Every structure is written in structure tokens, then in C-alpha cells.
Chain A
Amino acid sequence: MSADEVKHPGINLGDTRDLSHRDAEHDLFGFWIFLMSDAIIFALLFATYGVMLVGTAGGPTPADTYKILPAFIETLVLLTSSFTFGMASIAMKHDAGKVRLMRWLAVTLVLGLIFLAMELKDFATMIGDGAYPARSGYLSSFFALVPLHGLHVAAGCLWVVVMMVQVAFFGLDERVKVNLLRLGLFWHFLDIVWIAIFSVVYLQGLIR
């Protein structure tokens, strides 16, 4: 099989770049599997959240706790960052030059950091209002699920920084490209998880 015939789900570099990594197919397939396994962790935390919603122990309830406006803005920020990462991937695929790629990665990073800052502020407000994790089973499950997503975003931001350094350092060699493809999958995956969090946690929390 030549590199051109090898396809994997997501953006393939084979048809626009001669130097497509011959192992890209199994590298990316492995990362899809990792994401599936990670998705199980989130699924179980969602299930736990659902089970523990009733366990408010006389403390704050979802309707008392959530502020929908910041959560909505965070959603927009994260969705936009997914779009900008997509632009970075396209820049890489079509050889649009290192500068353009770096620019889109930088925009993604900034959006990711804005998201994290807003989320941390949300948590601080909640804790200030007496909605801290040790207060009740319900709040425990909230603070396991949502911050775990935040931790993933933080890891993603660190990864973006590392990749920007590597692009500057190595240029677009095979491993940089494969790792950018993986990072792209990771970033979009976090977006999907966030959509589930926004719908299941925040929107459902509006119901009084």
C-alpha cells in the first residue's frame, strides 16, 4: 500500500503532501481508541452526575448554583477555538506556511486560556456562594465532571504550546504533523464533551 491509499478518519495529509507519514494511519487510529476510552470516563462521570443530582443534602441545588450566561459565553469561546484549530489543520494540510499555522494555533491557545479563566472564575463564584464540592454528593459529582473537562483543556493548551515550540524548532517534520493531527482530534473531542456538559449540566440545571 502506498501512503496515498492509506486513509484514516479525519483530515488526511496524503493527497496534498508527498511526505505523508506512513504510520499516520495506525498512529491516528490508536488515538481514536484512546479518545473512546477517555469518552467512557466522561460517560461514567455523566452517569454519576445523573445519579447524584438528588443528593443535594439540603444544600444548593442546580437551579441555585449555575449561571447560564458565563457558561454560554464559554461555550461560544470553546466552539470558536475548535473552528480556529480546524483552520490550523487546513493550513498544515495545504502547506499554507508555518506563519499561518502558528497564527491559528496561537488564536486557539488564547481562546482555550480565556475559556479556562472564565471557568475558574465560575468555580470561584460557586465556592464563594457555598456551593463547594464537600458540601453534598451532588456538588461532588459536579466538581468531578466539569473540572475534569477543564483539566483536559489545560492539558490541551500545554500541548498547543509544545507543538508551537516544535513547529518552530523542527518545522513540519513527520512527527510534528502526526502530533498536530492527534492534538486536533483531542481538541475537537473536548468540544463535544463540553456540548454534553452544557446541555446535561447547565441547561438541565435551568429547570426549576
Chain B
Amino acid sequence: MSASVWPAVLGRFEWHALPFVRAWENPTLNELIGAGAAAIVVVGAIALIALITLLGKWRYLWREWLTSLDHKRIGIMYVVLAFVMLSRALVEAMLMRLQQATAINAPGVVDPEHFAQLFSTHGSIMIFFMAMPFLTGAFNYVMPLQIGARDVAFPLLNSISLWLTGGAAGLMMISLVVGTFSTGGWSGYPPYTELAFSPGVGPDYWIWAVTLGSIASTLSGLNFAVTIYKKRCPGMTLMRMPLFVWTTLCTSILMIFAMPPLTVATALLALDRYLGFHFFTNDLGGNMMNYANLFWLFGHPEVYVLILPAFGVYSEVVSTFSSKELYGYTSLVLATMAIAVLSFTVWVHHFFAMGQSANINAVFGIATMTIGVPTGVKIYDWIWTMFRGQVRFTVPMLYSLAFMMTFVLGGFTGIILAFPPLDYLVHNTLFLVAHFHNMLIPGLLYGMLAGYHYWFPKAFGFRLDEKWGRVSFGCWVIGFYLAFMPLYVLGAAGMARRTQEVFEPSFRPWLYVAGVGALILFGALASLFVQLWVSIRDREANRVTAGDPWDGRGLEWSTSAPPPDYNFALLPQVRGRDPFYDGKRDGDPYAPPPEYHPIELPRNSMTGPVLGIVGTALAFGLVWHMWWLAILGTVMIVATIIARSFARDVHRTIPVHEIERTEAHWLAAVAAARAIPRQLEMTPLNQGLAAVTR
């Protein structure tokens, strides 16, 4: 072929885009680390494909999972994605800690360019491809069960959201093997990320991965909001909804309104980079401050998108494991709503030091401190819920308690940062890094892990191992304090964030302690995987088929574990705030209904996987300037959507005899189970049936 054909086919790809080639030609430690990471992705993907092929599970995977529109399966796939991405981003965090600990008046293990990629991918992945999938997965699994619905309002859209998120996460993984990632941080500030300063593919990977993710999240938010407004079962009034549903609703509203600013910011940056527009360039009338405003108009509500779901989980967990009605339900609802509204009024505090007047800073500083009030209300409500309750220190409860202590601490440092004159002093230092990890690790990760332990038995029919759960919990907490408390000290001493080499020897001990903390955090993740392994191995001993291992309060506990495809044989009728808890005490919640009716459910669809794959191909084509691929991807997306609109056979009906069989099987398990008191719920005697005193 002639020399002019290859650029048309491969765009700007050339062999040095592959880290293996770079490492071969220049075998430094830095390049070898990059090649090693790429090798893990490639070998991991090959091993996965080989394993599925060996087990002959492709058909099963495709039919039961990848094309499924069942909200429960989609939820589980989201959480699996979150764990995969958490593993990568945590390893990157360790590498960054290792770099800073070894780079005190020395070059360390990675060069500056590589280090900048590490903090950019770590942040982008943790926010968009760990936190967002995790909370979206939890909403997906739990919320429809809690409101007594059979599925979300738009099951197909749900699958499309999953696959766009998965495709975007895939793009992040591809960037490890082909080319390099952005060095512009998770917020991708121009003008640095403009062509003039970052001509490579890195910022383009960032732009398209984030854009796909933000579109997926907007659609998820829409889906959940409609589900909650329109699909609640009879009697489930707004003020009877479990608090997790309330936080889902508020988060969804935030997603609907706060994701578009991100889409606009990344799209305008793309116009600058691809078509020579001048939104954020230094010359010809560009104005990067507009980017800062657009980005944080998304970025601050995003903080509450991340934290509110955890607040919902804690509300459920604390109430259940205290065997008490949630204290101050109304105030918790109002506080959640207040936080959601206020979250749109504080975005400027992310750039106090960027030149607006002192009065503007003062207004946003005060607004920021105001958010502390509803958050404080919540902490008190949870404490009062525990007061004189029958508190059990299960793993989810331990996470809740660790959250309350740690989050309050982070809140205090937030008040410091909300005060503009103080912010000027610690702005852009590790103090800030310590602060937001201090909010997001308890305020998101602990919450999601609490929810994982709490609802896992519901989703899979057996409890997670208690011992390894506690080991992991201990590591997450100790690791967090060791890794991030030193960063407060370092930040206050003036160490800038994102520093690749350190020239102040007195920082050494603090950086070592933080490095040890990162190792312990890695141990925490490893013990989570050990726990999963042990739990699956011992699953027969820990079955909770009857479905109610914790003397649960909401409707999600009133079904078998795992619940049937259709969730509820008969849509429940709700009369109070804790329908299942009260139901167990007022009568027999397991009494079968007089008769069953056929149930209509959505049929599987390959639209989601197809859109995810062609969407990723489109993004990849854009990143590498393979225009044929970009055009092909666009055409395929439009064609897929139009083709799907012609599909008419989109439902399947579950016949009565199948429902009868499923329900009879479950009710037999309930009848065979021994009802246990709360003291025994962490032992194998727990078969998912709670002993209740009437």
C-alpha cells in the first residue's frame, strides 16, 4: 500500500503509541511500569476470554447478563464494573504514594509525564468509573424493590446507560495499551489541555470517556426519577418512601441538571481541539474562566451525587441494625432536599483563588458553610436512631460508625476551606487532597461498601463472610487515616498537590506514613476479594433463601433471596413507612395471595451492547483521528436506534404456573427456615427468617 493510505486508516496511530514498543526501545523503570500495566490489561482480557470460552459460558453470559434488561442484573453488572475500576485506580494511588515517598531529592520511579497521567486517570476513574457505577448499581438493584416496582420505568434505556458507562470505562483501559492518557488532571483544565500545550491523544481520551460517561449518567438520572415519580406501588406515598429512595431521587435530579454542564464543557473543549474553535484558548477571545464555571457547575453537584446515595445507605443500615424506626425521618428528607438545592449554589468555592472579587467569594463561602447545617442534622438523626436501640455491630454498621466520625472530621476541614482567606493559604496543596478524600472515602466508599455487605445476601442468597469483612473494614479505616492525615500536615506546610518530585527532606516521614497507609488500603481491597472468595466457597453454610437476614424494614426484604425476575408476585400494598417490619409484627407477611396473574416483563435486547460497542468505536476513532471509524460509528448509532424503534415484540409474559412454582419454592424455604433472634444473625443459623415478638 502507498504511504498515503495508512494515515487515512490508522489516523495518527504509530508504533510508539504502544507502551511495549517504547519499553523495548528504552527499557527504563518508567517505561517498564507503563508496559507492565498495559500487559496486565491485555493478559487480563485474554485470560477472561479464554476462561469464558473454556467454561462454555458465552451463551449464558450473553443471554442472562449482557443483553438483560432486568434492573437487578444491570445493577450487579454496574457494581462489578465499579470493583474492576476501583482495583486499577487504587493501584495507581499506591504508585503515586510510592513515587512521592521515593522522590525526595531523587527522581523516584516514574517520570513527570507518567506521574501526571497517574493522577489524571486515578481521579477520572475514581469519580466517573468507580463511584458513579457503584452508586448507579446500588440504585438499580435496590430502589425498584424498595418502592414495590417490577422494574425501572425504561429498562432498555437502563441497559444503554450501563453499556455507555462500560464503553467509557473500556476506553480508559484501552488508553493504557494504546497511546497515553491526559496529563491535565481529572478536571482537564484548559488552556493546558488545549492543542497548543497538549497536542497528543491524552486529552481526547479524557474528553470522550467523560462525555460517554456523562451522557450515560444523565439518562440514568432521568430513568430513576421517572421510576420513583411514576412506578411506586399502591400506598407508597412520597413521605413513606425509604430514605434510600429519597436520596436516589435527589441524586437523580442532580444528575439530570448537573451532568449537562459537564457534557457542554467537554464538548466545547472538543470543538477547540478538533475544529480550532476559541472557547478556552489564550488567544482570539477565548476565556478559560468559562470552562472553570461550566466544569464546577457540574463538579459541585457531582459531589452530592456521590455522597447522597451513601447517606441513604446509612439511613437504612443504622435503622435496621438498631431495630428502631429512623429518627427524624421528615428532617432527613428535608435535609436531603436542602443539600440537593444548595449544591447548585456553591461551585465558585472550587476556584476562590482565580480572581473574582472578595464579595463574590464571600457569598459562595457562606453558601458553602450553610451546607454543613443540613448535613449536621443528618448526623444527629443517625445518632438518635441508635440511641436506646438494639445496636448490632455488623460490618455495614461498622462502616456507618466509621463514616460518622471520619466524615465530621472532613467536614471541619471543609469549613476551613470554605473560608476564602484560609483557602488562599492552602489552595492547591495536599491539604485539599486530604480534605476531599476525607469526604469521599467515608462519604462514598464506606457507604457503598456498607450497602454491598447489607444487600449482598438479598442479591445472591447468602451472607458475606463476617471475619474477612471485619479485616477489610479495619484496613479501610486504618489505611485511610494513615494515608490522608499526613497529607493535611504536608498541605498546611505548603506541599503542592500533583508534585512529582519533592525537595523538602522534612516531608519524608509524613510521606512514608502516607505510603504505608496506601499499602494498608490495598490490603483492604485485597481482603474484600478474599472475602468474596471465601463467601462463595462457604455459600451453602450461609444461605438466607427466606430473604430477610437482618429483620429488614423495607419491601426489598419481603421477597426471596435472590428475588424472582418479576420481584413481586403481586404488587404490594403499603400502609406505613416500614411496611415489611410492621407487616411481620401485625400479621403474616408470607401468606400467599389468593390467586396469581400473568406478569409482563421486558424481553432481552442487544441494543445496549451494540450501542456501547459502536459508541466506544466512535470515541476511539475520534481520539486517533480515524475519521472512517468515527463516521461508521455515528451511522451505526443512528441506524441502531432507528432499527430498534421498529421492534414490536419487546415483552415476554411469565405464565401463572411458573409464578406459582417459584413462589411455592420460596414459601417452602420460608416454612423450613428457623426464625432466629437478632443475636444470631451473624452466624450460620441465619437462614433469612427473623424471629419477631408481637
Contacts and interface: CB of A to CB of B under 8 A. Distances in A.
Contacts of B261: 40, 44
A140 B279 contact: yes
A176 to B, nearest CB: 9
Contacts of A175: 645, 648
B225 interface: yes
Interface string B274-303: 011111010111110010001001000000
Contacts of A54: 285
A141 B279 contact: yes
Interface residues of B, number: 40
A173 B277 CA distance: 46
A3 to B, nearest CB: 14
A96 interface: no
B256 interface: yes
Contact of B222 (A30, A45, A134): A30
Contacts of A170: 648
Contact of B260 (A41, A51, A56): A41
Interface stretch (B202-210, B226-234, B623-631): B226-234
Contact of B277 (A45, A134, A162): A134
A33 interface: yes
Given A37-B222, A51-B290, A52-B290, A137 B278 contact: yes
B325 to A, nearest CB: 30
A26 interface: yes
Contacts of B231: 26
B222 A34 contact: yes
B276 A29 contact: no
B264 A44 contact: yes
Interface in B638-677: 638, 642, 645-646, 648
Contacts of A57: 278, 283-285
Given A48-B268, A55-B287, A144-B268, A133 B153 contact: no
B645 A134 contact: no
Interface string A155-179: 0001000100010011001010001
**Of residues A34, A48, A162, which shows the largest number of chain B Cβ atoms within 10 Å of its Cβ?**
A48
Contacts of A169: 646
A162 B294 CA distance: 35
B616 interface: no
Interface in A71-86: none
A42 to B, nearest CB: 9
Contacts, number: 109
A66 B247 CA distance: 47
B340 interface: no
B271 interface: yes
B154 interface: yes
A37 B260 contact: yes
B259 interface: yes
A33 B294 contact: no
Interface string A34-50: 10111011001100100
Contacts of A138: 285
A25 interface: yes
A33 B645 contact: no
Interface residues of A, number: 39
B368 interface: no
A38 B225 CA distance: 16
A20 interface: no
Nearest to A162: B642
Question: Which residue of A26, A41, A56, A137 has the most chain B CB atoms within 10 A of its CB atom?
Answer: A137
Interface in B40-68: none
A39 to B, nearest CB: 9
B257 interface: yes
B117 interface: no
B645 A166 contact: yes
A186 interface: no
B257 A40 contact: yes
A137 B648 contact: no
A162 B642 CA distance: 7
B228 to A, nearest CB: 11
Contacts of B259: 37
B226 A26 contact: yes
A143 interface: yes
B211 interface: no
A37 B648 contact: no
Given A29-B229, A136-B285, A44 B278 contact: no
A134 B276 contact: yes
Given A44-B261, A52-B290, A143-B277, A137 B222 contact: no
B476 to A, nearest CB: 35
B634 to A, nearest CB: 12
23 contacts: A26-B229, A26-B230, A29-B230, A30-B223, A30-B226, A37-B222, A37-B256, A51-B290, A52-B279, A55-B285, A55-B287, A59-B284, A133-B271, A133-B275, A134-B278, A134-B284, A137-B279, A137-B285, A137-B287, A140-B279, A144-B267, A162-B642, A175-B648
Interface of B: 153-154, 218, 222-223, 225-226, 229-231, 256-257, 259-261, 263-264, 267-268, 271-272, 275-279, 281, 283-287, 290, 294, 297, 638, 642, 645-646, 648
Given A56-B285, A162-B645, 13 more contacts: A37-B218, A37-B256, A41-B264, A44-B261, A48-B268, A48-B290, A52-B279, A54-B285, A55-B285, A59-B284, A137-B281, A137-B285, A137-B287
